[in-house]
């Protein structure tokens, strides 16, 4: 994960990324659990993948993977649910940008893959 992001933003940029991640995650989760057609297995699977990517965004876990999955699911929804393509366009764009920028310092990714501070014991 460190190879993907040089730093995990903190301060006000980190707060902004946290808010953006929470908003996108909640929207993806809600859209995922409400958009599946009960009679179509492919639709159910894609909706569950979309909801799972929303949960990963909420946690800040595997953010590049979650962003890529969310973008793929939303592009699929653009073509399979043509009545409301703009919500999917916005969610795909936002998920892609967070996948490129990174999750910020208030995420599980930062705790697992961020730089560790080592203290050298003194004699």
Give me the pLDDT at residue 86, please.
92
Crossing angle, helix 41-59 and helix 11-34, to 10 degrees?
Answer: 160
- The whole-angstrom separation of Cα 115 and Cα 71 is 28
Average pLDDT, the chain: 85
- The whole-angstrom separation of Cα 56 and Cα 97 is 15
Crossing angle, helix 63-80 and helix 11-34, to 10 degrees?
Answer: 40
What count of other Cβ atoms lies within 10 Å of the Cβ of residue 84?
Answer: 12
Report, as an integer, the average pLDDT of 82-86. Answer: 83
With vertex at residue 77, the alpha carbon angle to CA 72 and CA 81, rounded to the nearest 5 degrees, is 170
- The whole-angstrom separation of Cα 35 and Cα 31 is 6
Q: How confident is the model at residue 119 (pLDDT cuts 50, 70, 90)?
A: low
pLDDT of 96 over the 80 cut: yes
Give me the pLDDT at residue 109, please.
83
Domain boundaries of the chain, sorted by first residue: 11-113
pLDDT of 18 over the 80 cut: yes
- Indicate the SS3 state at residue 108: helix
- Indicate the SS3 state at residue 43: helix
Q: Helix %, strand %, coil % for the chain, to 5?
A: 70, 0, 30
The pair of structure tokens assigned to 65 is 């993977």
Report, as an integer, the average pLDDT of 14-34. Answer: 92
């Amino acid at each position: 994960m460190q190879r993907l992001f040089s730093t995990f933003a903190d301060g006000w940029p980190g707060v902004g990324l946290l808010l953006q991640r929470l908003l996108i995650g909640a929207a993806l989760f809600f859209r995922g659990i409400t958009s599946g057609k009960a009679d179509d297995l492919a639709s159910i699977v894609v909706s569950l993948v979309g909801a799972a990517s929303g949960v990963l965004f909420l946690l800040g876990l595997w953010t590049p993977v979650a962003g890529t999955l969310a973008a793929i699911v939303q592009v699929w929804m653009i073509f399979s649910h043509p009545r409301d393509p703009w919500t999917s366009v916005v969610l795909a764009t936002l998920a892609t940008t967070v996948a490129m920028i990174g999750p910020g310092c208030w995420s599980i990714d930062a705790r697992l893959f961020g730089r560790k501070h080592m203290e050298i014991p003194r004699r």
